Amino acid sequence: MSLPLEGLSAIVTGAGRGLGRAEALELARLGAAVVVNDYGQPGRDGSGEASAAPAEEVAEEIRAAGGQAVAHLGDISDFETARALVDLATGTYGKLDILVNNAGILRDRMVFSMSEDEWDSVIRVHLKGHFNTTRFASVHWRERSKAAGGPVYGRVVNTSSEAFLAGSAGQPNYAAAKGGIVGLTTSTALALGRYGVTANVICPRARTRMTEDVFAAIPAIERGAEPAEGRLDPLAPEHVSPLVGYLASPAAAGVTGQLLVVHGGMVAVVERPRVAAKFDSAKDTFSYEELDGLLSPYYASRPPNETFASTEVLGLKRG
C-alpha cells in the first residue's frame, strides 16, 4: 500500500525546530521527499565541537528513518534566496508539489513602543517570506500546467495565527503580518486554482521556542497543564503536523481558500466574514447626520466589546 505523499516533493520553511520540524517529519513519514529550510547556521555544541545547522539535523533525521531530504540554509525573506530554495527542490527532485510556509520571528511590543525595525523585520520574514516562496512555486506550477496542457499537482499550506483572528495588543506587527498571509492565501487559491493548485492557511497553537512567551502575553489562551506521563503535551507541534499532511495530500484536492485553527487534538474551520448589517442612503449619498441617525443606534444596541476581532477563538478546545 503506497503512502499518501509517495512520489511528491515538498518544501517546509523554518523547519529546523518547532512546528516546521514536526511538519517536515510528518510529510516525510507520509512519503514526501522534503527540502528542509531554516535560517539557522552551524554552531558549537556544549563541548565546543562544531554542530550541524538545525535544518541539516532534521534532514538527517528524515534520511535516518528511510526518507528523502536535503537541507537549505537561508532567509526566505530574501527574494533570491526563495528562488534558490525552489530551484533546489526542482533540481533535486525534478519538481515541486508541496509548499509549507512556516518560517517566522517575533518582535513583540505595544504599538506605541514599537520601533520601525521591529515592525519591518516581522512583516518582512512572515509576509514577504510567504510571498517570495509562493511567487517562485507558482511560476513552477504554471509552467508545468502549460506544458502538460492541464492541471498539475500543487499544494500551498500557509501559517497565520490566532493573533490575527482575535487581536493581540502586544503584537501589532505579528497580527498584521498574519492577517496579510490570510489575504495572500485566498488570493493565491483563486489565482492558481486553474492550474490544479490549492492554497490553505492554518492558525496553529503550539509551544515552541518562538512562542514560549506568547501564552503569557494573551491571557485568554489556556497555557495547558503539564502532560501526564506518556501523554502528548496539549500544545505540542505534533498536534498540528497531521493537518498539514492532510492539506498537502491528494485527499484534500477539494479543500482550498480555507482557514483552519488547530491545536491540542482539535481542528476548527473558520467561516469567512459575513455582512452583519447594511444601510442605504435616502438620497444620492450619506450625510453625517444621516449616518449618525443610522449607525449610532445600531452600535448602541450591540454588545459593547464586540468588534471584528474573533476573541472566542481563543477559547476553542477539544471536548
Q: Which residues are catalytic?
A: 161, 174, 178
Helices H, strands E: what count in the chain? 10, 10
Residue 248's nearest CA partner among 69, 27, 17, 36 is 27
CA distance 312 to 315: 5
HEC per residue, 120-182: HHHHHHHHHHHHHHHHHHHHHHHHHHHHHCCCCCEEEEEECCHHHHHCCCCCHHHHHHHHHHH
End-to-end CA distance of the chain: 33
Angle at 133 between CA 130 and CA 135, to 5 degrees: 100
Where does 271-317 show beta strands of DSSP type E?
none
The identity of residue 225, as a single letter, is A
Q: Are 182 and 239 in contact (CB under 8 A)?
A: no
Residue 315 CA to chain centroid, in angstroms?
20
Cell 501564552 maps to which residue?
Answer: 215
CA distance 197 to 143: 12
| CB environment 175-205: b (16+ within 10 A), e (fewer) | bbbbbbbbebbbebbeebeebbbbbbbbbbb
